Each structure stands twice: as C-alpha cells, then as structure tokens.
C-alpha cells in the first residue's frame, strides 16, 4: 500500500468555507446532496486541480455554480472526484451521491446499527458520504438537513444546534435541520436517525449558557443511561474548574449504538458511543464498567476543546488531541476517584498494552513519521504514551505554568488545526523554557531504560544516586531524553525527610544527560532510594535493590505508587525466577507473604481499593515482558499460579476475615462510587487468592457469592473464580449465567470473555462452539472482541499453544472478518505483536500463520499493514 509521510505534508490547494448537506435517509437508497462553498487557498498552489476524496461512492449529479459540469471537465469514480480546471475564485459545487447504509459493514461513513442510522467519520469516513477534502486541516461551517421516515426514525440528530424541524407532507417522512456555527474538519461530522429513548438534564455553563444534555439509547433502556448522563454533567463542570473550558453549544447529545468499531467518537455536539460505554445498571455492569463509562464520557466531552476547537493539522498529529485528552480524562477520573489507585490502574494499562507494543514489531513514535493505514495508529502509544508525555511536561514545569500553557495553547490555536510544535510552543511562551530536547519524546519509538544505583557514605552522611538512560535501538549519537524523576529516600523506620539535595526541586530531579548523579546530604542511615514516584516517566527502571529493600518501600514509602511498585517488583522477581527454572524461591516468597500480611493488617480497611491493587499480581503478559526473550507461556502461567497459591495459603485466615468484614450489609443499596467499588475489589481479590490455594473452598465461596450477588461486579467475580476451577460447578454456573442474561448482549459479552480466557486445553474447542452460539455474531465488534479478542490478548497459554491451534483460531477469525470490516480485523491482528519473544517452537508456529495471512489474496490494506509490519 502507498505510504503517507509527515515530511510530505502540503497545505490544501483549496478550502471549503461552508457545507450544506441534505441527507435523505433510506435503508438502501440514501441520497446525499452536498453544497460546498469552495475557494482557492491563497497559500496553496495556483491553478491546481480540485481533487476531492471519495470511497465507495456513486455520483448522481455534479454542478458548479449552478451549471452541470461538462463530462470532460471532471473525472469521478468510487474513490475520488477531480475537477481539472476549477474556477480561480470562490465557487459552489453541488454534488449528489447515492449510498446504501444497510450494506455498509465497515462501520465507517453512514451505516445502520440495529436499524439506527449513524455515522463514523474519523479518520476518513466522511469521504464515504460525499466527495470532499477529507483532511483535518480543512475546516468548514456545516448546516445539515436530515430527512427520514417518521415511524422508523422519529429522532433525527446532527452537529451543532437544532434550527428547524417538520413534516414532509404526504410522504410519512419528516426532517430536521442542524447548524454547527463552529468550523470543523469533516471527521467530526455526524448524524443519527432512529428510534431511540432519551434522558436529559440541563446544565448552565460558567459563561451562563443553558445547555440541554441528552443521552439517547435503545428503546426501553433509558434507566441504564442515568450514570452516563450524570458523567457528562460532571465532565462539563470539571473542565470549567480544572481547565477553564466551557461548553459552546445549546445542546450536547450522546447516542449509544450497538455496532461500533471504537469506544466512542467526539463528533461536535453529537458524541456517538459504543453502547458498552453508556449503558449501566447494577444488574448488568461491573464497577470496572462504571469507571470506564465515566472515563470515556469524559474523554469524548473533553475533546470538545482538545480536538474539536483546536484540531489536528494532519493525522501524524493524532497524539495532539488523543494523548492530551487521555491525560485530561485521567485527571478527571483521579479527581472523581482515588488518585493513587487510579495512577496504578493507568500504569498497569500502560505496561500491559503500550510497553508490549513498544517492544514489538508494531512499535512507532508517539508522533509517527509515516503510515499506510491511519486507522491502525489509534494505538496505546499514541494515546497512553502520548498522555504520559503531557504528564511529564506538567511535572517539569509545575502545575501553575502547565495551566497557563494550556490556556495559551487554547487561546492561540482556537479554531485552527495545530501541530505538536504549536502545543509545545505555548508552554515555551509562558515559561521562557526551551522544550526542544523534551520534544524528542514524540519522535522515537521504544521504552527507555533508566538504571539507578546508590552509594551510601556513612562517614559523610551522604547518599549518591546515579542514573544512566539508554534507549533500545537508539544509536550512541541519539540525543538523551529529558526525564523527570520524582525521587526521595526511605529509611528502615520511615521516609528520610531530613535528607536533601540541591538538584531536587519540589521532589523532582531532571535527568537530561545520558548519565548523571545527585547527592543527598544529611542522610543518617543507609537509605532505600525511591525513584520515579508516581511513575513520573514512562521508562523501565533497572535497580539492583533486593527484595528486603523493596519491602521497606512497601512499608514506608510515602508515595503510594512506589509502595505498590515495590510489591509488584518483588512478585515479578519471584515469578520470573520460577518461570526460568531458577533456584527455589521459598524463603523469598515467605518474606513476601509476611510483608503483605503486615501491610493488610494496617492498611486493608483503611484503603481497600489500594489493598486490592497490592494483592493483584502482575499479569502473565507483564511477566513475559520482564523475561523478554524465548518465553514459555506455560512456565509463566505456572509460576504465577504458584505464587497465587502461596499468597492464598499464607494469608488464608486474614483474607477470610477481610471478606467477612467487608461484606455488604444485607439490603444495602448498590453504589458504584470508588469507595464501595474498592471494598468489592478487595473482597474479590481475596476470593481469587483463597481459591488459588484451595479449590474446594474457592468453589464453595464462589458459588455462594454468585447465589447471593446483588450486583454484576460480585456475580462476575464469582464466575471468574469458578472459571479457573474445572468441574461441574463451573459448567453449571456458566449455564445459569447464560440463562439469566439471555436477552442481554452486553452481559453475554462478559460470559463469552470469561470462557475465552479459561487457561485449559479445551478452550479452543469451546470457543469454536461459542462462535455458533445464537448470541454471537462476527459482524458485531463487541461480540468479536469479547470472544476472539479476550482469547488472543488475555489467554496466553491457549492463544500461544505450541501446536499453533490458538494462532489458527485467530487467523481464521481475522480472515473471516476482513472482507466486511477491515478495521476490526486489523485490530484483532495486533495480538500477534509479541510473537518474536516466544520460545523457538511457538515462534515458528506464529510465523507460519502470519505468513499464511500475508499470502491471502484480496487482503485489506488494514490487515496487510499490520501483518507485514509484524513480520518485518
Ligand atoms: N473516538 C476516538 C477517541 O475519542 C477517536 N477520536 O479517542
Ligand atoms: Zn480520543
């Protein structure tokens, strides 16, 4: 496929000031008339042809300034429209196209989801609706008239504010006109038409604007939209307080649809969501679902400023809106919940997805330099590492300067399409600092390593802490990164606050050279260093600390992230040694158990959510990442099981008591708030460990929990525990669950996922059986991700089976889906990413499957791109 390069960026030769769309919805014969007010771009090439993008379009009519365009004056096909000699002054094009939304299985452009007409235009779906300059630096003001059958589509929604609505007499049809006064790129266009229930509330902005917030969902599910509606309101209020950003239209609409490739989409004034991230009730949603809904509602809302008011010049700048908006939604969730616990969740996610991506063949810079298919760059690197860069910037310049820089960025770039350089220059302007070295973070793939080692001088009472940074694949001449290191010292009895260093300012040391060291004075005893507090930079830390020193941090570090990190590192050390078949680590495990016991004694009831994080061991993927090469997923699984068993046995009594103490009083009303969720999380972490040590007791406890459950969190946790315990009890519980939720597709997704993750030989067969289940459909992205995605991403022993049966299963699914929905197929393919780090037998099996996929005729550009990069 042709490669698009950042260095080839060129301004558009034409601009579009205004767009009038008339969309007459019909299941198979939708007519779109686009009237475009165009003009030559004074900064573009003179007398250039007008080249409009198109994808799968049928042109019905074309007029320029009211005259039909002569056949020899243009060329049009499914993939574009060229006007050879467009007027050298402002002109109007009228383009009529015909679409078949029912046949649109790619879920890009205009399509139907359970009968509801909806759109998805990012990154390049608008060209599937009409011929257009479909690039984010062409901003226009849109007016949209939507017409449809009144019975099947009583709700008609567009971007901006509603202007007018009415019947089309004598036709059974009606229409609505929407006007969006703020110029936007085409990827933010949206419309919806369908039968939907509505819940709404009003909000008055700090500027005094009365906004009607509404959430639209499948008929009958209005009561499940309350939490999302509330989350919109809290997001609006938070963005005013935290960033001074007010909403700018009279309505804000959120629509939930059941077929959606992404999580959600920030279309101006009309966010369209995967219903999984809107619908919630105690009976159907877990605490994790509630947290995800809150975060994604916030994310899409925050895009209104970081993405919509200030958009991206080109798709290479995707992190400009995504990294920044993830940072903003993480801050929001941290304010709504426990900041310390949320930080741990962010880092777990970063390590599980982004570190793995960055260590494999799909690694790319946060701002990529080239792409074959942009839809494959909505990645953990662009999003999550992108957010970490913004967070590092704040750590470097401090909170007040960060806020001033954000204000400056919004003010300077409002209504324009910006670049990463525009972003950084706003912070340079308010701080007077040169951020050109910092900008290196955007340019290079790979996770940096920082080696940290300390030397104590008892006579001088000084402690020298040395840092050395290296980057995988970066040559010796590569400039060092600017790495903020939040750092402190901890002694045997507690934090060493008396120790100071002139190089540490407000707790932060800035590592700017390849190697550097700082010296703390006034250090009474040999300390334990605590670098990268709060995970102050997305690096891998290499430190020679032994387990005893790390357990001192677990006990005494005032930084809760590093307390958790200490426990994780000890667990990783124990598991990695076992997985590598190194000397038995019994003594180490005993010390770990004792430390956790002491920790739980003082902390479990004070902060159950944090304690649950401490008890949750690093996952198999992280352990594979730690081992790095020639990994054996079975050995990794066994090592993790062994440590879970040790913890379960060693902490048995305490965990049992905790479960009783934390039990919800009978009849208590469910609340999804962070404190209640934290108590449930700790109870369920305890259940997991008890069951690991004692299958019989675990089975009984899990069964009882499922019986008594008054919410999905507890019910599903019971089921997840049983899923790891082969036997009749498990199968009976799975059957009962399927019966209870037979009419709840989103709940059955959890049932698919739990079974897909069973780490046993029979799972591939089980999945093949589930693929024929009436509730499963290869055409629905949520179903596919639940069954196939969970298997390939979260069941390492079975996906990576030595006989290749797991790889075959994924390959078959990818190829079965690719023709209909290449974006979904390509996303599934990314599970092959870590194949090279497998031991030779499994590696060979994975490679042969990848080669078979690449050789398949008529493969989409999306899948070809992922497959070829995976093999490169
Ligand atoms: N809808 C996706 C997101 O918000 C892409 N913009 O991240
Ligand atoms: Zn986003």
Tell me the CATH number at 497. Answer: 2.60.40.1840
Is 300 part of any domain?
no
Q: How far is the CA of 158 from the centre of ligand 2 (A)?
A: 20
Q: Which residue has the tokens 């089309």?
A: 168
Q: Which residue has the tokens 């956790």?
A: 596
Q: How far is the CA of 300 from the centre of ligand 1 (A)?
A: 7
Q: Residue 207: is it exposed, middle or buried by C-beta count within 10 angstroms (0-12/13-18/19+)?
A: exposed
User: Could you tell me if 19 and 123 lie in one domain?
Assistant: yes
Pick the last residue of a domain from 167, 189, 211: 189
Q: How many domains does the chain have?
A: 4
Q: If you write DSSP's letter for every residue of 63-110 in order, what string do you get?
A: EETTEEPPGGGEEEETTEEEESS--SS-EEEEEEEEE-GGG--S-SEE
Taking CA atoms only, the protein residue closest to ligand 1 atom 2 is 265
Is 472 part of any domain?
yes
758 in Cβ contact with 767 (< 8 Å): no
pLDDT at site 475? 79
pLDDT at site 585? 62
Pick the last residue of a domain from 504, 537, 570: 537
Q: How far is the CA of 393 from the centre of ligand 2 (A)?
A: 20
* Nearest atom, ligand 1, residue 299 CA: 4
Closest CA to 685 of 577, 798, 621, 599: 599
Is 578 part of any domain?
no
User: Could you tell me if 92 and 46 lie in one domain?
Assistant: yes
Mutate to test the pocket of ligand 1, among 378, 381, 386, 781 (most ligand atoms within 8 A of CB): 378
Is 673 part of any domain?
no
Q: Which residue has the tokens 């969902």?
A: 217
Buried b / exposed e along 796-822 (16+ C-beta atoms within 10 A): bbbbbbbebbbbbbbbebbeebbeebb
461 in Cβ contact with 522 (< 8 Å): yes
Write out the H or E segment, with its range, that includes residue 323.
helix 318-336
Q: How far is the CA of 325 from the centre of ligand 2 (A)?
A: 6
User: Could you tell me if 156 and 27 lie in one domain?
Assistant: yes
User: Could you tell me if 418 and 510 lie in one domain?
Assistant: no
105 in Cβ contact with 40 (< 8 Å): no
The predicted model scores a pTM of: 0.99
User: Could you tell me if 805 and 849 lie in one domain?
Assistant: yes
Biggest alpha carbon–alpha carbon distance for the chain? 96
Strands (E), 390-441: 417-418
Write out the H or E segment, with its range, that includes residue 865.
helix 861-871
pLDDT at site 1? 63
Is 820 part of any domain?
yes
Mutate to test the pocket of ligand 1, among 124, 185, 260, 263 (most ligand atoms within 8 A of CB): 263
pLDDT at site 587? 78
Q: Residue 46: is it exposed, middle or buried by C-beta count within 10 angstroms (0-12/13-18/19+)?
A: exposed
- How far apart are the C-alpha atoms of 557 and 578, rounded to whole Å? 28
Closest CA to 125 of 69, 180, 57: 57
* Nearest atom, ligand 1, residue 296 CA: 4
The two tokens of residue 504 are 């540490």
Mutate to test the pocket of ligand 1, among 108, 261, 303 (most ligand atoms within 8 A of CB): 303
- How far apart are the C-alpha atoms of 654 and 244, rounded to whole Å? 47
Domain that holds residue 349: 311-442
- Reduced to 3 states (helix: H, G, I; strand: E, B; else coil), residue 762 is coil
User: Could you tell me if 148 and 10 lie in one domain?
Assistant: yes
* Nearest atom, ligand 1, residue 378 CA: 5
Mutate to test the pocket of ligand 1, among 300, 328, 781 (most ligand atoms within 8 A of CB): 300
**Secondary structure of 510-572 in HEC code, one letter for each residue:** EECCCEEEEEEECCCCCCEEECCCCCCCCCEEECCCCHHHHHHHHHHCCCHHHHHHHHHHHHH
Name the closest ligand to CA 378.
1
HSE-CB for 577 with a 13 A CA cutoff: 15
Taking CA atoms only, the protein residue closest to ligand 1 atom 7 is 322
Write out the H or E segment, with its range, that includes residue 332.
helix 318-336
Report how far apart, in Å, the C-alpha atoms of 87 and of each of 14, 180, 216, 446, 515 are.
11, 27, 44, 48, 60
- Reduced to 3 states (helix: H, G, I; strand: E, B; else coil), residue 157 is strand
Q: If you write DSSP's letter for every residue of 197-225 in order, what string do you get?
A: EEEEEEEE-TT--EEEEEEEESTT-GGGS
Cis before residue 563, ω within 30 degrees of 0?
A: no
336 in Cβ contact with 345 (< 8 Å): no
- How far apart are the C-alpha atoms of 689 and 658, rounded to whole Å? 12
Strands (E), 532-675: 540-542
Write out the H or E segment, with its range, that includes residue 177.
strand 173-184
* Nearest atom, ligand 1, residue 383 CA: 7
Is 285 part of any domain?
no
Summarised one tens digit per residue, pLDDT across range 540-564 is 999 999 999 999 999 999 999 999 9
Pick the last residue of a domain from 189, 217, 246: 189
Residues having CB closer than 6 A to ligand 1 are: 122, 262, 264-266, 299-300, 303, 322
Taking CA atoms only, the protein residue closest to ligand 1 atom 6 is 265
Taking CA atoms only, the protein residue closest to ligand 1 atom 3 is 265
Q: How far is the CA of 320 from the centre of ligand 2 (A)?
A: 10
pLDDT at site 474? 79
User: Could you tell me if 407 and 503 lie in one domain?
Assistant: no
341 in Cβ contact with 610 (< 8 Å): yes
Cα of first residue to Cα of last residue in the chain, in angstroms, is: 15
User: Could you tell me if 365 and 469 lie in one domain?
Assistant: no
User: Could you tell me if 318 and 172 lie in one domain?
Assistant: no
To the nearest 10°, the Cα dihedral for 662, 665, 666, 672?
-80
User: Could you tell me if 394 and 511 lie in one domain?
Assistant: no
pLDDT at site 357? 98
- How far apart are the C-alpha atoms of 749 and 147, rounded to whole Å? 35
Handedness of CA 201, 223, 750, 113 (dihedral sign): negative
93 in Cβ contact with 41 (< 8 Å): no
pLDDT at site 586? 73
- Reduced to 3 states (helix: H, G, I; strand: E, B; else coil), residue 369 is coil
The two tokens of residue 25 are 């919805």
Helices (H) and strands (E) in the chain, counts: 29, 33
The CATH number of whichever domain residue 810 belongs to comes to 1.25.50.10
- Reduced to 3 states (helix: H, G, I; strand: E, B; else coil), residue 578 is helix
Q: Which residue has the tokens 């109007």?
A: 92
Is 3 part of any domain?
yes
User: Could you tell me if 81 and 19 lie in one domain?
Assistant: yes
* Nearest atom, ligand 1, residue 303 CA: 4
Identify the segments of the chain with pLDDT beneath 50.
Answer: none
The CATH number of whichever domain residue 8 belongs to comes to 2.60.40.1730
Rg (Cα) of the chain, in Å, rounded? 28
pLDDT at site 482? 98
The two tokens of residue 237 are 């209020």
User: Could you tell me if 2 and 44 lie in one domain?
Assistant: yes
Q: How far is the CA of 775 from the centre of ligand 2 (A)?
A: 30
- How far apart are the C-alpha atoms of 611 and 683, rounded to whole Å? 10
Name the closest ligand to CA 264.
1
Taking CA atoms only, the protein residue closest to ligand 1 atom 5 is 265
196 in Cβ contact with 190 (< 8 Å): no
Active site residues: 300
Q: How far is the CA of 130 from the centre of ligand 2 (A)?
A: 24
Buried b / exposed e along 827-839 (16+ C-beta atoms within 10 A): bbbbbbbbbebbb
* Nearest atom, ligand 1, residue 263 CA: 1
Q: Across the strands, what pairs with 96?
A: 33, 61
Closest CA to 788 of 740, 821, 742: 821
The three-point CA angle 577-579-583 to 5° equals 40
- How far apart are the C-alpha atoms of 84 and 75, rounded to whole Å? 8
Q: How far is the CA of 378 from the centre of ligand 2 (A)?
A: 9
Q: Which residue has the tokens 């390849």?
A: 514
Name the closest ligand to CA 271.
1
pLDDT at site 295? 98
296 in Cβ contact with 401 (< 8 Å): no
Is 561 part of any domain?
no
Name the closest ligand to CA 274.
1
List helix spans (H) across 179-286.
Answer: 226-243
What does DSSP say about strands 140-149 and 67-68: parallel, antiparallel, or unpaired? unpaired
Cis before residue 281, ω within 30 degrees of 0?
A: no
The two tokens of residue 188 are 């933010």
């Amino acid at each position: 496929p042709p490669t698009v390069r950042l260095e080839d960026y060129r301004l558009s030769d034409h601009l579009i000031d205004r767009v009038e769309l008339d969309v007459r919805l019909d299941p198979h014969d939708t007519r779109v008339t686009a009237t475009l007010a165009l003009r030559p771009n004074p900064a573009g090439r003179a007398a250039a042809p007008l080249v409009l993008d198109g994808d799968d379009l049928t042109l019905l009519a074309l007029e320029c300034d009211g005259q039909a365009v002569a056949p020899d004056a243009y060329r049009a096909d499914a993939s574009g429209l060229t006007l050879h000699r467009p007027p050298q002054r402002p002109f109007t094009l009228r383009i009529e196209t015909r679409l078949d939304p029912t046949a649109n299985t790619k879920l890009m452009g205009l399509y139907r989801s359970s009968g509801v007409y909806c759109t998805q235009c990012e990154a390049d779906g608008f060209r599937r609706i009409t011929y257009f300059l479909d690039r984010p630096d062409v901003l226009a003001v849109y007016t949209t008239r939507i017409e449809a059958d009144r019975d099947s589509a009583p709700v008609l929604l567009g971007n901006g504010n509603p202007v007018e609505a009415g019947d089309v007499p004598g036709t059974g049809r009606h229409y609505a006109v929407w006007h969006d006064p703020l110029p936007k790129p085409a990827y933010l266009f949206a419309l919806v038409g369908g039968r939907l229930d509505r819940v709404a509330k009003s909000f008055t902005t700090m500027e005094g604007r009365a906004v009607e917030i509404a959430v639209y969902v499948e008929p009958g599910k209005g009561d499940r939209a309350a939490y999302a509606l509330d989350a919109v309101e809290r997001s609006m209020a938070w963005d005013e307080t935290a960033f001074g950003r007010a909403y700018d239209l009279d309505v804000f609409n959120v629509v939930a649809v059941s077929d959606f490739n992404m999580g959600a989409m920030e279309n101006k004034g009309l966010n369209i969501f995967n219903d999984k991230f809107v619908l919630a009730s105690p009976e159907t949603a877990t605490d994790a679902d509630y947290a995800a809904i809150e975060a994604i509602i916030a994310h899409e809302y925050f895009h209104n400023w970081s993405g919509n008011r200030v958009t991206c010049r080109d798709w290479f700048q995707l992190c400009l809106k995504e990294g920044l908006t993830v940072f903003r939604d993480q801050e929001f969730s941290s304010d709504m919940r426990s900041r310390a616990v949320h930080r741990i969740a962010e880092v777990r996610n970063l390590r599980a997805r982004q570190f793995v991506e960055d260590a494999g063949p799909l690694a790319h810079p946060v701002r990529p330099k080239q792409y074959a298919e942009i839809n494959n760059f909505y990645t953990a690197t662009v999003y999550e590492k992108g957010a970490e860069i913004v967070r590092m910037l704040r750590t470097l310049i401090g909170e007040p300067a960060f806020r001033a820089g954000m204000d400056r960025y919004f003010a300077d770039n409002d209504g324009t399409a910006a670049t990463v350089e525009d972003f950084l220059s706003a912070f340079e302007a308010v701080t007077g600092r040169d951020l050109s070295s910092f900008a290196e973070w955007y340019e290079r793939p790979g996770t940096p390593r920082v080696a940290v080692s300390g030397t104590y001088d008892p006579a001088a009472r000084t402690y020298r802490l040395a840092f050395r940074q290296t980057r995988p694949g970066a040559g010796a001449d590569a400039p060092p990164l600017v790495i903020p290191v939040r750092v402190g010292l901890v002694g045997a009895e507690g934090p060493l606050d008396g120790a100071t260093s002139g190089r540490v300012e407000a707790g932060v040391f800035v590592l700017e050279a390849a190697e550097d060291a700082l010296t703390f004075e006034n250090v009474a005893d040999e300390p334990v260093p605590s670098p990268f507090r709060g995970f102050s930079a997305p690096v891998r830390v290499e430190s020679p600390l032994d387990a005893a020193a790390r357990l001192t941090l677990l006990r005494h570090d005032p930084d809760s992230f590093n307390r958790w990190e200490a426990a994780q590192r000890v667990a990783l050390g124990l598991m990695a040694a076992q997985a590598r078949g190194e000397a038995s680590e019994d003594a180490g495990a005993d010390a770990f158990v004792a430390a956790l016991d002491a920790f739980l004694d003082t902390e479990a009831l004070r902060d159950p959510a944090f304690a649950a994080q401490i008890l949750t061991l690093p996952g198999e993927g992280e352990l594979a990442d730690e081992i790095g090469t020639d990994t054996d997923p079975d050995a990794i699984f066994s090592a993790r099981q062994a440590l879970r068993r040790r913890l379960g046995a060693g902490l048995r009594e305490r965990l049992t008591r905790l479960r009783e103490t934390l039990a919800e009083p009978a009849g208590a009303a469910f609340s999804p708030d962070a404190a209640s969720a934290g108590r449930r999380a700790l109870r369920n972490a305890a259940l997991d460990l008890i069951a690991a040590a004692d299958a019989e007791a675990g089975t009984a406890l899990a069964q009882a929990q499922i019986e008594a459950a008054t919410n999905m969190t507890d019910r599903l946790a019971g089921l997840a525990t049983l899923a790891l315990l082969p036997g009749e009890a498990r199968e009976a519980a799975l059957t009962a669950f399927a019966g209870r939720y037979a009419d709840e597709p989103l709940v059955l997704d959890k049932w698919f996922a739990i079974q897909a993750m069973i780490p046993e030989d029979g799972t591939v067969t089980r999945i093949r059986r589930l693929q024929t289940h009436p509730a499963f459909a290869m055409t629905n992205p949520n179903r596919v991700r639940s069954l196939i995605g969970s298997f390939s991403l979260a069941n390492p022993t079975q996906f990576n089976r030595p006989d290749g049966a797991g790889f075959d299963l994924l390959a078959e699914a990818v190829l079965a889906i690719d023709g209909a929905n290449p974006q979904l197929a390509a996303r599934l393919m990314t599970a092959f990413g870590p194949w090279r780090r497998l031991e030779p037998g499994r590696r060979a099996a994975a490679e042969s499957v990848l080669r078979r996929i690449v050789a398949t005729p008529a493969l989409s550009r999306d899948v070809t791109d992922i497959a070829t990069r995976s093999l490169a």
